[in-house]
Amino acid sequence: MSDHYVFEFPTLINFGQGVSNLLGNYLDQQAIRRPLFVTDANLSKQPFFPNLIEQSGGSIIYDHIPSIPTKQSVVNGKEVYNKHGCDAVIGVGGGTAIDAARAIALSIHHPGDLFDYSIEKRGAEKISKKIPPFITIPTACGTGSEVSRGCVITDKATSEKAAIYSPRLIAQAVFADPELSLELPPSITASTGIIALSNNIEAFLAKNFHPMCDGVALEGVRLVFEHLPKAVKKGDMESRAGMMMAALMGSVAQQKGQGVIHAAAHSLSSVFNTPYGIANAIMLPHGLEFNIPQSPRKLQQLSDTIWSHDFIRSTKELAETLELPRSLKEIGVSEGDVAHLSALAYQTPYHSYNPRPVQEKDFADLYLKALKS
């Protein structure tokens, strides 16, 4: 998958080795003169970054995005955008930077408290204006945030997370260049890759009816099992491209819904600042086991997709191969934390489309099992 492909699903996607070199032409076509690049301090120092800046001619860089995108980082980014008279937002990075960039783009023409636009507050109805031109350039292969219609932002003071979704938040163009992911260390490649896997799995299991998303999600699962071990071990271009496509597919499929795994992982990420991929890796097999009574046929389809006799066992073996944590104890969680984690997980909207109804006590059971694994 090293050739250059252009297609629309759900937006304009330039995919393939070297497509980031086409950014300048696109900016000229769109008459974008002063974009704000949103990224983190590490990525802004990567060898590929000067090329992006050179193509854009006169860009402003905002690289103060923390490891988890925060409400304050979005407020600060908006101030930089307005101060320098920017006319577009370009998110460069993984899910963290791109989520922050998307929230900054939203905030430009939508005043007030960012969290007023969350799902919990029926925020999609309030997102009534177009956002500035918004472009994404992924450097990781995990959340697929580059093609998402939403973002998740954390209020550091309260640990509250706001999920914000609207079709208006979809990037108008994506430049998915696997070359930009070549410098990802094996540990990050592994943990972000598990996010792509979890996204595809939960989209496939979600109770909504969406056959197109089901097909996309199954292929995304297959790509992860084929390419993630090689991407971690060798990091070659083919495996990086395969994982970048799997991440894109997982995000597209997620319009069908998420489930108990995401809800449990988001709670862990909020309270313990656990990398989202690590949280998913730990909770994935337990969430799948919880859903067995409701989804035996779909779990068999997942097994068939990767030529496995036991899909849940295969996910455990994959995590072991990638040397990812398997127990909550490994990330500092104790039994005394379970009640708080369960309450937070139950309050999230992510489990709304889980194939099996979930109660707060079910989250407690899941966390306890993950502690003992």
User: Distance between CA 219 and CA 242 in Å, rounded?
Assistant: 11
- Per-residue pLDDT band at 7 (split at 50, 70, 90): low
Query: Residue 2 above 80 pLDDT?
Result: no
- Per-residue pLDDT band at 57 (split at 50, 70, 90): confident
Q: Could you read off the pLDDT of 145-183 as tens digits, one per residue?
A: 999 999 999 998 887 889 899 999 999 999 999 999 998
Please state which CATH number belongs to domain 185-372: 1.20.1090.10
Cβ neighbours of 42 (radius 10 Å):
12
Please state which CATH number belongs to domain 5-180: 3.40.50.1970
User: Distance between CA 23 and CA 31 in Å, rounded?
Assistant: 12
Q: What is the mean pLDDT of the chain?
A: 95
Q: Which of 269, 263, 6, 8 is nearest to 147 (CA)?
A: 8
Given this model, what pLDDT does residue 1 score? 52
User: Distance between CA 155 and CA 129 in Å, rounded?
Assistant: 24
Q: Could you read off the pLDDT of 104-147 as tens digits, one per residue?
A: 999 999 999 999 999 889 999 999 999 999 999 999 999 999 99
Give 152's strand partners: 163
**Residues contacting 313, CB < 8 A, separation 6+:** none
Task: Look up residue 158 and give its DSSP letter.
Answer: T
Q: Which of 141, 352, 98, 145 is nearest to 252 (CA)?
A: 145
Burial class (CB in 10 A: 0-12, 13-18, 19+), 7: exposed
Q: Which of 315, 11, 274 is nearest to 145 (CA)?
A: 11
In the chain, CATH 3.40.50.1970 covers 5-180
In the chain, CATH 1.20.1090.10 covers 185-372
Query: Residue 58 above 80 pLDDT?
Result: no
Query: Residue 67 above 90 pLDDT?
Result: no
User: Distance between CA 329 and CA 320 in Å, rounded?
Assistant: 16
Lookup: tokens for 296: 């035996």
Q: Could you read off the pLDDT of 327-356 as tens digits, one per residue?
A: 999 999 999 999 999 999 999 888 999 999
Query: Residue 8 above 80 pLDDT?
Result: no
Lookup: tokens for 308: 């496995």
Q: Could you read off the pLDDT of 207-228 as tens digits, one per residue?
A: 999 999 999 999 999 999 999 9
Q: Which of 71, 73, 105, 100 is nearest to 88 (CA)?
A: 105
Residue 165 and residue 117 in contact, taking contact as beta carbons nearer than 8 Å: no
Q: Which residues of 322-351 are buried (b: 16+ CB within 10 A; e: fewer)?
A: bebbeebeebebeeebbeebbebbbebbbb
